[in-house]
Structure 1
Amino acid sequence: MGIVVGYLLVALAIGLFAYRVAESGAEDYYLASRSIGTLVLLFTTFATLLSAFTFFGGPNLAYAAGPEWILVMGVMDGVIFAILWYVIGFKQWLVGRRHGYVTLGEMLGDRFGSPGLRALVAGISLLWLFPYVMLQQMGAGEAIAGLTNGAIPYWGGAALITAFMIVYVMLAGMRGVAWTDTIQGLFMLSVVWIAVAWVLAAVGGPEAATGAMVEANPEFASLGGGTYTPQFIISSAVTIAFGVTMFPQINQRFFVADSARVLKRSFALWPVLVLLLFVPAFMLGSWAAGLPIDVPEGANVLPVLLREYTPVWFAALVIAGAMAAMMSSSDSMLLSGSSYFTRDLYRPFITPDASETREAWVARIGVAVFATLAFLASLTRPGTLIEVGDTAFSGFALLAPAVIVALYWDRTTRTGMIVSISIPQIVYLAHVFEPVPLPFVDVRLALPGTYGGWDVALWLMALAAVLVVVVSLATDHVDDENASRFDVTAD
């Protein structure tokens, strides 16, 4: 536990240094004055994406269902997200550089002359950001409880990471977050490969580990079947990749690059970097299925595996790496969420003439409130890490079709945007929440999660794409719309 606390203190020291060198304005706090270089941009995006969903949820799924999760998250998602980083991210960077946008909602609201659209995008983003912040707190609580064999309870671990997140984000801003993410990303890569080498050395090498896995679970040796149906693989890969592009903490990084060259290098290297982490992490989960370890129900497999086959100090070091993954996601989520609140809700609707310094302090207060509420919700443990994470990914993915069409099609109208964003979200919410009785009607909102084996979110993404095109063709532009806002080209 001392190793984990020590790691948190080192990260906090970096945040304090960033606070001392940062400028006082909101743009520096949110975007580090758009000055991020290739290495830092690549690793801050990498570390921000790698959360409890990846570091604990991924190995857990591989332990239960087999190593094909590497195909979904490592291969397909790595490539799809790299393509989307170019299709969406590069265009956003060009638009943001010209007009000074800080958030996705600000960009869309200005293009379509609609504070309501701006608020709608921000509100939906904050809605789905909440469970993903909660996911990090759940993962931290489970990790620390597992590391200490219950000496520190679940709520204590979740409280520790929450307190750290609040202090760190209030101090550091994007500059400190990006610096820390770079260190955390390198740290995660190092410890997970050392963990693989240590575990394999203890069990007799990769052939022995793979043989034991296949003997215990013969289905792990074949492609497809069980959980990994073609529908599950494609649905998961597509919804997660498109959802990632709309995550506030990822989407906002499309604005921060110092140059076009920085951005292009980053998305070209992305698939390689993803594979370097996902392959060893998910194989550890898969190999664990054939090893004589006892994973309690609801526990994470990675800490159990490491406690069995590596020294206590190294297991703690790897858990610190997992905590790094969760912190990298959490601090960026809270920072981006605060910018969505202040830029898209507070400034337009509450205090339009607020100074940038005041806005930055309102953002810091918002961080504390949001993180505290998410912590309280995490104590209810509403689902597994995979379930909570997948729900958030899909909610964000529904925003992507309208955004892509708006970036490249001048005929897109304000009405088309609002309809194509609102209707799929309403239908998806009806799927997500527990069934409730409707007044005076003896029916319940109990809809299946798949149709024909395909995730409902995939169907709703298709619906969103159709709606934005059809409704835009059927409606006229209004005077406040300005399609020229997105008419930008690379220098």
Structure 2
Amino acid sequence: MTATLQLGIIVGYLLVALSVGLVAYRLTERTAEDFYLASRTFGTVVLLFTVFATLLSAFTFFGGPDTAYAFGPEWILVMGLMDGIIFAVLWYVVGYKQWLLGQKHGYVTLGEMLGDRFGSTAVRVLVAGISLFWLFPYVMLQQIGAGGALASLTAGAFPFWAGATLITLFMILYVALAGMRGIAWTDTLQGAFMLTMVWAAVLWVLVAVDGGLATINAGLEASNPEFLALGGGFYTPATMLTFAVSIAFGVAMFPQVNQRFFAASSEAVLKRSFALWPVLVLLLFVPAFLLGTWATGLGLEADIGAGESILPVILAEYTPTWFAALVIAGAIAAMMSSSDSMLLSGSSYFTRDLYRPLSEDTITDQQEDRLGRIGVAVFALSALAASIWAEAAAFGGATVGSILVNIGDLAFGGFAQMALPVIVALYWRRTTRSGILAGVLVPQVLYIAFNFLPETTVGSLTLFSDAYLGWGISLYCMLVGLLVTVGVSALTVQTPEEETALYFEFAD
């Protein structure tokens, strides 16, 4: 009964979203700018919630609560407070400048904006290539989460590959039809729905537990007393700051988030949105991660099977079947709201930053629009094939949450490596083409090497570790990117093709 109800809710959501997509398709012009940015018409509510829902991913709903369950509630500080504030600042520092440039010059992608400033196809292709490289595993993350959740709901009757395939095929159809406008509409509905449901879940569990919060805290005191104290264990200051900075700076460079900086209808809309962002983040992350923490105090360890996430377990234990079904189905829909934006952005990076500058063919806006829709399908199916292979070959008995956190953390750090060179380029006139190329490329090579090469000891020196002195390698690589960008720019001269004044033609 539970599985049938949950599948019914998911199918119902798919049909509603598809209906929205059909309406959006009728209103969408057959141009690349409208398909990718909804002609830059977003108001405050839509812009805020489409960024919000784009980040409502498997990482949030399964990875986050599982981390809080395993290590304690300080994960709320990492994701809720630190990244709510840090990303809001970056929304202004990066997003506002991007919006000004997009309004004046019609930019659609980050690579397009940087390539124009430095008069360089190489810059454009490098930024797009790196973005697609790190976007690919994050799309996989959503497919792994959705496929695993559907398999869990049906006790294996609906296997992982079938669930991931179903969700992927729907997203291809929906994104190709709806474009940015339809995605933003469903994002707004989805974000409001999930805020309501996650707070309702917290209240329901509190009421259902005999003794409420006192009982939960007593359980935590008995089983994991460190959960009631701040810091310690996994949550060292260095670890928390590494996660918080990497995630926040990475989010600012995520194609599906970064492109939304171009989509605001006015300056007032953009500024209201980033001012409200920390509040919205806390409203979601606090209840979601509390549920993960409470599960430890309620002694649910024995109820968790291999590869299972904690959120469905605590909801199944303390809320009615229909309510748990609604929340979990909503979480799966949240994964889809992230994936559809990723597919659309991945398509735009491919068509505008790889195909157009590297192809000898001249294409019209209508042809680019059509190519973008085809790109959605190619990107999604490639990620699906990789997800099915990875799930079968590599993950074994690991929990869904741990898989998602590991993949998400790696992709966040990869995107974060681009943030400081981009900020330098936006605000320092002296930045050169050589500086931005080196500043973007060098930290990526280091980050990939330290994450994929085996740890090696040479004498007393350890090479290719993921942390030094407690600080994650992502932060060291970001610092290298900053130093390389500034250093190489200081040692080189700007070329005649560079538009030095392009980013400074207006008053900040």
TM bin, normalised by shorter chain, reads over 0.9
Could you say which residue in structure 2 is the equivalent of 1:476? 493
Could you say which residue in structure 2 is the equivalent of 1:417? 436
After TM superposition, give the deviation of residue 434 of structure 1 in Å.
Answer: 5.2
Count how many residue pairs are aligned between Structure 1 and Structure 2: 484
The 5 A counterparts of 1:217-228 are 217-228=224-235
Instruction: Determine the C-alpha separation between the residues in 2 that align with 1:136 and 1:390.
Output: 14
Could you say which residue in structure 1 is the equivalent of 2:355? 346
- 1:298 alignment partner, one of 302, 307, 311: 307
After TM superposition, give the deviation of residue 484 of structure 1 in Å.
Answer: 1.5
Instruction: Determine the C-alpha separation between the residues in 1 that align with 2:43 and 2:230.
Output: 40
After TM superposition, give the deviation of residue 360 of structure 1 in Å.
Answer: 1.2
- 1:277 alignment partner, one of 278, 284, 291: 284
Instruction: Determine the C-alpha separation between the residues in 1 that align with 2:284 and 2:153.
Output: 22
1:115-148 per-position Cα deviation (integer Å, ceiling 9, x unaligned):
0110000000000000000000011112112222
| SS class of match (1:398) | helix
Question: Residues 95 and 488 of structure 1 are in contact (CA less than 8 Å); yes or no, is this contact kept in structure 2?
Answer: no
| SS class of match (2:297) | coil
1:287-338 per-position Cα deviation (integer Å, ceiling 9, x unaligned):
0112232112321110111112212221111012111211111000000110
Q: Alpha carbons of 1:434 and 1:315: their partners in 2 closer, same or farther (altered >3 Å)?
A: farther
Matched, 1:255 2:239: no
Could you say which residue in structure 1 is the equivalent of 2:143? 137
Matched, 1:464 2:461: no
Matched residue type, 1:211:
A
After TM superposition, give the deviation of residue 435 of structure 1 in Å.
Answer: 3.9
The 5 A counterparts of 1:338-417 are 338-379=347-388, 380-381=390-391, 382=394, 384-417=403-436
Could you say which residue in structure 2 is the equivalent of 1:178? 184
After TM superposition, give the deviation of residue 215 of structure 1 in Å.
Answer: 2.0
Matched, 1:93 2:99: yes
After TM superposition, give the deviation of residue 74 of structure 1 in Å.
Answer: 0.3
After TM superposition, give the deviation of residue 385 of structure 1 in Å.
Answer: 0.4
| SS class of match (2:501) | helix
Matched residue type, 2:436:
M
Could you say which residue in structure 2 is the equivalent of 1:76? 82
Question: Residues 38 and 181 of structure 2 are in contact (CA less than 8 Å); yes or no, is this contact kept in structure 1?
Answer: yes
The range that moved more, 306-315 or 41-50, is 306-315
1:221-275 per-position Cα deviation (integer Å, ceiling 9, x unaligned):
1111111111110000000000000000000000000000000000000000000
- 2:466 alignment partner, one of 449, 457, 461: 449
The range that moved more, 209-218 or 383-392, is 209-218
Question: Residues 198 and 310 of structure 1 are in contact (CA less than 8 Å); yes or no, is this contact kept in structure 2?
Answer: yes
State the TM-score, normalizing by the size of structure 2: 0.93
Q: Alpha carbons of 1:436 and 1:237: their partners in 2 closer, same or farther (altered >3 Å)?
A: closer
Matched, 1:18 2:24: yes
1:436-457 per-position Cα deviation (integer Å, ceiling 9, x unaligned):
99xxxxxxx9711011111101
The range that moved more, 1-10 or 119-128, is 1-10
Instruction: Determine the C-alpha separation between the residues in 2 that align with 1:435 and 1:369.
Output: 32
Could you say which residue in structure 2 is the equivalent of 1:235? 242
Instruction: Determine the C-alpha separation between the residues in 2 that align with 1:350 and 1:208.
Output: 65
Could you say which residue in structure 1 is the equivalent of 2:120? 114
Instruction: Determine the C-alpha separation between the residues in 1 that align with 2:182 and 2:49.
Output: 13
Instruction: Determine the C-alpha separation between the residues in 2 that align with 1:196 and 1:119.
Output: 46
After TM superposition, give the deviation of residue 93 of structure 1 in Å.
Answer: 0.3
Could you say which residue in structure 1 is the equivalent of 2:108? 102
After TM superposition, give the deviation of residue 409 of structure 1 in Å.
Answer: 0.4
Matched residue type, 1:401:
L
Question: Residues 453 and 464 of structure 2 are in contact (CA less than 8 Å); yes or no, is this contact kept in structure 1?
Answer: no
Could you say which residue in structure 1 is the equivalent of 2:52? 46
Instruction: Determine the C-alpha separation between the residues in 2 that align with 1:160 and 1:316.
Output: 19
Mark the runs of 5 or more structure 1 residues left unpaired by the alignment: 438-444
Q: Alpha carbons of 1:468 and 1:169: their partners in 2 closer, same or farther (altered >3 Å)?
A: same
Instruction: Determine the C-alpha separation between the residues in 1 that align with 2:194 and 2:30.
Output: 31
Mark the runs of 5 or more structure 2 residues left unpaired by the alignment: 1-6, 396-402, 457-461
| SS class of match (1:327) | helix
Matched residue type, 2:416:
A
> What is the Cα-based RMSD across aligned positions, in Å?
1.5
After TM superposition, give the deviation of residue 197 of structure 1 in Å.
Answer: 1.3
Matched, 1:335 2:344: yes
Q: Alpha carbons of 1:490 and 1:52: their partners in 2 closer, same or farther (altered >3 Å)?
A: farther
Instruction: Determine the C-alpha separation between the residues in 2 that align with 1:264 and 1:447.
Output: 41
Instruction: Determine the C-alpha separation between the residues in 2 that align with 1:311 and 1:375.
Output: 33
Question: Residues 4 and 319 of structure 1 are in contact (CA less than 8 Å); yes or no, is this contact kept in structure 2?
Answer: no
Determine what percentage of the aligned residue pairs are the same residue.
63
